[in-house]
């Protein structure tokens, strides 16, 4: 079995794409044309290595590509029967003598394809990042849920809408951890803003600071057509003892000191 076809990067790329997402008619014709140049090639070895690497990635949040899954099911029985048992001791001693893969002795005669697969690992490595991208980082909604689930003493207050037009029908809550100084706002029904004309800005009133100068919690936007949104809080300075969270409508980029002409929603401890 020849592995010369590994030097043909376009061919290997087509084989990997065939094993994962499938090929269109034009790409299938191109694959057949290129394979004809290598009559001793074992193109199935590429597929088997792709399957091995993809399964090894253990990506639970993203299923195998449909074409790859179908091929895996179809050929699973055959592959299992052909799986070799490798004499690792002999392989190490052969490597020390400088022998090539073809000189390594196997315990199973059916292991011919695996020799090519082993060589293909290096070839596939250049394309593998596309098949096993790093996990997606958690979004604000997931981080908020994590904060709620793992943080004792968390502040969690409901937002109440004012008479401002942007707040008509708005609801939500704020969660804040005084220790880590992390928090999130959750809104539903807060009016969308045009960021070229205005932005929302959070203010955190601190019992240990002058009410005239609440802590700036950052500016944010509410895109049109969104349902519930979660916004991380970006407090500019440390908050000692929060007593009120207020969201105002300000000019783009926010302000240093708010005139409080447009207060959209407020959150404070529930009166008992």
**What's this model's pTM, rounded to 2 decimal places?**
0.55
**36-40, 112-116, 122-126, 204-208 — which one is most confidently predicted on average?**
204-208
3-state secondary structure at position 239: coil
Residue 51: its pLDDT value, please? 56
Q: Where are the domains of the chain?
A: 4-131, 140-267
User: Measured between alpha carbons, how far is residue 115 from residues 58, 188, 245 in Å?
Assistant: 24, 58, 65
User: Measured between alpha carbons, how far is residue 15 from residues 36, 42, 43 in Å?
Assistant: 14, 11, 7
Residue 87: its pLDDT value, please? 46
Q: What is the mean pLDDT of residues 34-54?
A: 68
Q: What is the mean pLDDT of residues 187-206?
A: 97
Residue 88: its pLDDT value, please? 41
- Please, are residues 199 and 218 in contact by the beta-carbon 8 Å criterion? no
């Amino acid at each position: 079995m020849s592995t010369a076809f590994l030097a043909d990067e376009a061919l290997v790329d087509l084989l990997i794409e065939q094993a994962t997402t499938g090929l269109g008619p034009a790409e299938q014709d191109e694959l057949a044309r290129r394979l004809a140049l290598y009559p001793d090639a074992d193109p199935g070895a590429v597929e088997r290595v792709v399957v091995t690497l993809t399964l090894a990635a253990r990506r639970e949040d993203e299923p195998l590509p449909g074409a790859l899954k179908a091929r895996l099911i179809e050929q699973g029985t055959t592959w299992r029967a052909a799986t070799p048992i490798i004499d690792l001791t002999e392989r190490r001693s052969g490597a020390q003598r400088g022998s090539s893969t073809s000189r390594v002795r196997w315990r199973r005669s059916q292991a011919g394809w695996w020799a090519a697969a082993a060589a293909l690992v290096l070839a596939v490595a250049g394309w593998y990042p596309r098949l096993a991208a790093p996990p997606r980082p958690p979004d604000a909604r997931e981080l908020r849920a994590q904060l709620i689930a793992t943080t004792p003493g968390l502040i969690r207050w409901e937002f109440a809408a004012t008479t401002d037009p942007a707040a008509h029908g708005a609801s939500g809550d704020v969660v804040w951890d005084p220790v880590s100084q992390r928090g999130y706002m959750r809104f539903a029904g807060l009016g969308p803003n045009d960021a070229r004309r205005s932005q929302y800005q959070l203010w955190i009133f601190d019992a240990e600071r002058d009410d005239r100068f609440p802590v700036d919690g950052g500016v944010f936007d509410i895109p049109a057509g969104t349902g519930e949104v979660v916004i991380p809080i970006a407090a500019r300075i440390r908050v000692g003892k929060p007593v009120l969270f207020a969201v105002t409508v300000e000019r783009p980029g926010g302000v240093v000191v708010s005139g409080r002409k447009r207060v959209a929603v407020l959150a404070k401890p529930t009166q008992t």
